[in-house]
Amino acid sequence: MAVAEPLWTSTEIAEATGGAASAPFAVSGVAFDSREVGQGDLFVAMKGETTDGHRFIDKAFGQGAAGAIVSEPVAHPHILVPDSAAALEALGKASRKRMGGKVIGVTGSVGKTGTKEALFQALDRAAPGQVHRSVKSYNNHVGVPLSLARMPRGSAYGVFEMGMNHAGELSALTRQVRPHVAIVTAIAPAHIEFFGTEAKIAEAKAEIFEGLQPGGTAIIPYDSPHVALLYNRAERHAARILTFGASPQADVCAREAVPAPGGGTLVTATLPDAELCFTVAAPGDHWVSNALAVLAAVDAVGGDLAAAGLALAEMPGLPGRGERRILPVAGGQALLIDESYNANPLSMTATLKQLGREKADRRIAILGGMRELGDRSVELHAGLVEPLSAGRVDYVILVGAEMAPLADALGVTIPYAHVADTAAAIPLIQSEIRAGDAILVKGSNGVGLSRLVAALGENAGEGKTN
């Protein structure tokens, strides 16, 4: 049996980071969280404001770590460097340098993780085992180099999510990823507290184009009010620009989009040199938009469009980002739609619109506060009245202090309850839920609505629908 090639040897790590190896070793993975260390991993012990990874060295090796990057000597095989965080970034850059395949970078105010996962599924369908992507939402100054460092040297494709909440952050990240294709999914007032205007957010998202490789492709949303700004920024760095959207003027457009018999959407998409009819398993117009961006990227890297269409038809929902669960309840079943990971005004509107399309006896929305909206928080929370009405919502549970403006704005238009936190919302929905309900759970991650989703699942023994 052939021995698998190691992800990194101690010699390679030392060369990439400028560190010194205490002993020869080889690793098959990389982790900076000691709780995630597995057999054969490299543990990167970093010092932060509140903790020091060196405290967990023994734990990491107890869980099977084969080596570590450290900034102080330890009694285990290690690479000694002046700064572990800088060493991780250097290792990520070295990984990118040795990779000879195509790299796609993804950013946007909404849809980053879903689009990244859909791209992985689309490319992996035609090149199984040859596609690497960032896991979870590892999209910041630590997560991006970690995801790069984990990339197998023989990968045919790499898909990396990049996030930001301040200007200049994406500029630094994209220069590490050096994508051949850079996608902006959408622009929304997420993190507007730090920018002031959506246009400033668009400018910051457009920084992703700065890292494009020569001959690279920029992919931007045609239907965005900021398309001209994005196009202008892309022209400075991209050899080719592809737009996507519902408009016939988009380079990749949904010529037709109708509800699919088994759920989701049946789409006929036109591309510059192709036409494709496929199903998007995940329901909602926002997922149609994500799928068009995926097709544009697959086409740009010379991938298999037919395989991508099949993958989009089979893609499962993501926990916290649209996963659908069937909850057995007295007298029948209820549908739980888990959007508990993130929320901003654009994504709230999109998911409430989709809730209105669900076949249900009652539509219940459990909404947590939208964070980082700054001085527009009151206005944007109160502005959810119209999306709730358009979504034909019968009952609303509002969670957290940020939702007070929406409670005031609702008045008597839609029955609601306003509670202080997730802990108070859990018994409320448990006593309220009944057969035939469709329940949407959505809020910023910090609200903790994932605990409510878990509580409903534990009590009901739920099954997933996708």
Mean pLDDT across 188-199: 79
Mean pLDDT across 38-50: 93
In the chain, % of residues over pLDDT 90: 83
Structure tokens at 288: 């149609």
Per the rule left: phi > 0, alpha: psi between -120 and 50, beta: everything else, 111 is left
My answer on whether 428 and 346 are in the same domain is yes
My answer on whether 132 and 63 are in the same domain is no
**Burial of 382 from C-beta contacts in 10 A (0-12 / 13-18 / 19+):** middle
Q: Of 333 and 190, which is predicted with more confidence?
A: 333
Q: What is the structure's pLDDT at 189?
A: 79
My answer on whether 107 and 217 are in the same domain is yes
Mean pLDDT across 151-171: 94
My answer on whether 228 and 192 are in the same domain is yes
Report if residue 1 sits inside a domain.
Answer: no
Q: What is the structure's pLDDT at 191?
A: 67
Domain count within the chain: 3
Report if residue 139 sits inside a domain.
Answer: yes
* Mean pLDDT value across the chain: 93
Write the pLDDT tens digit of every residue in 95-128: 999 999 999 999 999 899 999 999 999 999 999 9
- The CATH number that applies at residue 19 is 3.40.1390.10
Task: Report how far residue 151's alpha carbon sits from residue 99's, in angstroms, rounded to the nearest whole number.
Answer: 8
My answer on whether 296 and 330 are in the same domain is no
Q: What is the structure's pLDDT at 230?
A: 98
Q: Domain of residue 23: give its range.
A: 8-85
Strand-by-strand arrangement of the 157-161 sheet: 131-133, 157-161, 102-107, 181-184, 217-221, 240-245, 252-259, 265-271, 274-280
My answer on whether 300 and 370 are in the same domain is no
Q: What is the structure's pLDDT at 195?
A: 73
Inter-residue contact 289 to 250 (CB < 8 Å): no
Residue 461 has pLDDT above 70, yes or no: no
Domain boundary among 278, 294, 314: 314
My answer on whether 291 and 233 are in the same domain is yes
Residue 267 has pLDDT above 50, yes or no: yes
Residue 161 has pLDDT above 70, yes or no: yes
Report if residue 106 sits inside a domain.
Answer: yes
Residue 49 has pLDDT above 90, yes or no: no
Residue 403 has pLDDT above 80, yes or no: yes
Q: What is the structure's pLDDT at 464?
A: 54
Structure tokens at 392: 């034909």
Report if residue 92 sits inside a domain.
Answer: no
Q: What is the structure's pLDDT at 85?
A: 96
pTM of structure: 0.85
Task: Report how far residue 19's alpha carbon sits from residue 269's, in angstroms, rounded to the nearest whole number.
Answer: 51
Report if residue 94 sits inside a domain.
Answer: no
Q: How far is CA 74 from the centre of its chain?
A: 36
Inter-residue contact 199 to 229 (CB < 8 Å): yes
Residue 2 has pLDDT above 60, yes or no: no
Report if residue 187 sits inside a domain.
Answer: yes
Q: Residue 97, CB half-sphere, CA atoms under 13 Å: how many?
A: 8
Residue 3 has pLDDT above 80, yes or no: no
Report if residue 90 sits inside a domain.
Answer: no
Mean pLDDT across 258-280: 92
Q: What is the structure's pLDDT at 261?
A: 82
Inter-residue contact 309 to 264 (CB < 8 Å): no
DSSP codes of every residue in 340-356: TT---HHHHHHHHHHHT
- The CATH number that applies at residue 430 is 3.90.190.20
